[in-house]
Amino acid sequence: MRMRKYQAAILIEVLLILILFNVRVQERRKEAVVSDHIQIGATDTAEGKKDYIKWVDFTVSCEALDYAYEQDVKAHEAGTALDWICLLAYTSARWGGQFDEKAMQTMKEAAGKAMKTADETHTATDRIEEAGAQLKYYPYYKEAYSAVLAGMVGSYEAQLEEEDGSVGWHRVYGLKAYSPIAGGFAYTDYDDFGAKRSYGYSRPHLGHDMMGQIGTPIVAVESGYVEILGWNQYGGWRIGIRSFDGKRYYYYAHLRQNYPYQSDLKEGSVVTAGQVIGYMGHTGYSTRENVNNIETVHLHWGLELIFDESQKESDNEIWIDCYQLSKFLRRHRSSVAKVEGTKEWSRILQIRDPAVEAWMAAQQGGSENPAGKK
C-alpha cells in the first residue's frame, strides 16, 4: 500500500512538472511569435542612434476592433476614458498579436476590470496602462497600433438629420474614419494581401482590393493632405494622402479613366475624412497614361506606416493588411449625392475635424507639419 502511495505521489509530481514545462514552452513560443514580428532597429544619425519600428504585422481582427471601439465610446459616455488602442495593445502583448477566442476573453476581462477600478484620479486607460507596464511588448504594440489607428477615433462636429428633417451641427465622439467606398455603392472583397503580382516584376500585393462598378465614388479614409496625385504604371491614376501626424500614407489606385479625381483636388490639397476624392476604375499596368490594362474594375487601397522618413519609398516600406480594417470601417460609410451636370459626386452631410483645423492653423502660422513637409 505504501509503495502504491509512493508511486502515485511520484506520478503526480511528474505530471505537475510536465504541466509547468508545457506552460513555459507555450510562453516561450508566444514570446518567439512576438519577437519574430517585432524588429526595432537602430540607425546612426548626426545626433546619435535613433530607434524606430522596422516592421508591423497588423493581425487585429474586425471583431477585436469592433469590441475595443465600442468600449472606448461607452467609457467616454460614462465620463471616463478607455483608449481602444491601449486595450488592443494590451491584448496583443498578452497573446502575441493574435485575436482568437482566448485573446478576446482577455480583452473583455481587462476592459471590465479597468472600468470597475477607474476613479476620479485614474481613468480606465490609466488602469490598462498600469497592467501593460508589466508586459514586455506592450510599448511596441502601443506604438505600432497607434501608427495604424491614431487618427480614427475622437471628438468632432458632424451634420446630422433632425426629427423635423432639417440638418444641424452636433458635437460627436466616435469613429472619424470612413470606409473608402461611398455609402450606397456595392462592392465585394476578400483578404488578398500578399497575393502574387507579376506585372513589371514578381512581387506581393501590398494592399486591399475592393471590386465594384466604374465611377463608384472613393472617399478619404482619414483626414490628411494630398502628397501625390497622378499616373503610375502600376497603380494607374492614383492618389497618395498623408495623415497629419505623418505616420500613415493612404494609397488609392486604379482610378477611373479620363475622370479619375474630384476636380478641385491637387497635390497639397487638404481633405477631410469621408470627402469624395476620386472614382473607381481599372487603369494601370502601362507606362502610357490613361490606359485600362487592369481586367477587373476595383479600388486598390493600401496603408503604409512610416516611423522614420527614411522608410518612405525605400526597400524598408511597411504596408499592412487592410482587410480586417476594411470590414471594421463598413460601419461608417459616407453618404453622397450626384452633382447634377457633372461626372462628380459629393458628400451629403459634412463633418468638422479638429485635426483639419489644427493643420490649417499651423500652415497659416508658417510651421512645418509632423511629416517634415511644407
- Residue 114 burial class via C-beta count within 10 angstroms: exposed 0-12, middle 13-18, buried 19 and up: buried
Q: Does residue 212 contact residue 233 with C-beta atoms inside 8 Å?
A: no
DSSP codes, 46-85? TTEEEEEE--------HHHHHHHHHHHHHHHHTTS---HH
Please state the rounded mean pLDDT for residues 179-194.
96
- Tell me the pLDDT band of 197, cut-offs 50, 70 and 90: confident
Residue corresponding to grid cell 502660422: 365
Write down the pLDDT at residue 30.
Answer: 45
| Cell numbers placing 127 | 488602469
pTM of full prediction above 0.85: yes
Contact 65/325 with Cβ under 8 angstroms? yes
Residue 290 DSSP label: S
Alpha carbon 175 to chain centroid distance? 12
The band of 40, judged by pLDDT with boundaries at 50, 70 and 90, is very low
Q: Provide the pLDDT confidence category of residue 15 given band limits of 50, 70 and 90.
A: low
What confidence score (pLDDT) does residue 203 get? 86
Domains of the chain and CATH, by start:
62-149 (no CATH), 188-364 (2.70.70.10)
Task: Identify whether the C-beta of residue 128 lies closer than 8 Å to the C-beta of residue 44.
Answer: no
Phi, psi of 281 (to 5 degrees): -155, -150
Q: Does the structure show a pLDDT above 90 at 82?
A: yes
Q: What is the mean pLDDT of residues 251-276?
A: 98
Query: Residue 236, by phi and psi: left (phi above 0), alpha (psi -120 to 50) or beta?
Result: left
pLDDT at 27 over 70: no
Tens-digit pLDDT profile for residues 128-183: 999 999 999 999 999 999 999 999 999 999 999 999 989 999 999 999 999 999 99
Distance between CA atoms of 76 and 82, rounded to whole angstroms?
7
Calculate mean pLDDT across residues 353-359.
96
Other beta carbons within 10 Å of 124: 28
Residue 115's pLDDT band, with cuts at 50, 70 and 90, is: very high
Q: Give the mean pLDDT of 292-315.
A: 96
Q: Which candidate, 362, 368, 205, places its Cα nearest to that of 296?
A: 205
Q: Please, what is the average pLDDT of the chain?
A: 89
**Average of pLDDT values for 78-87?**
98
Helix (H) / strand (E) containing 6: helix 2-37
What does the alpha-carbon distance between residue 370 and residue 359 come to, in Å, rounded to a whole number?
Answer: 10
Q: Where are the alpha helices (DSSP H) in 96-217?
A: 101-117, 124-132, 138-149
- Does residue 89 contact residue 110 with C-beta atoms inside 8 Å? no
The position carrying cell 423635423 is 164
Q: Which helix (H) or strand (E) holds 362?
A: helix 354-364
Run of H or E including 329: helix 323-329
Contact yes or no for 240/250 (Cβ under 8 A): yes
State the Cα–Cα distance between residues 13 and 144, nearest whole angstrom.
Answer: 43
Cα–Cα dist 170/20, whole Å: 56
CA 366 – CA 45 distance, rounded (Å): 27
- Output the nine-digit C-alpha cell for 130: 498600469
Packing angle, helices 101-117 and 84-95, rounded to 10 = 130
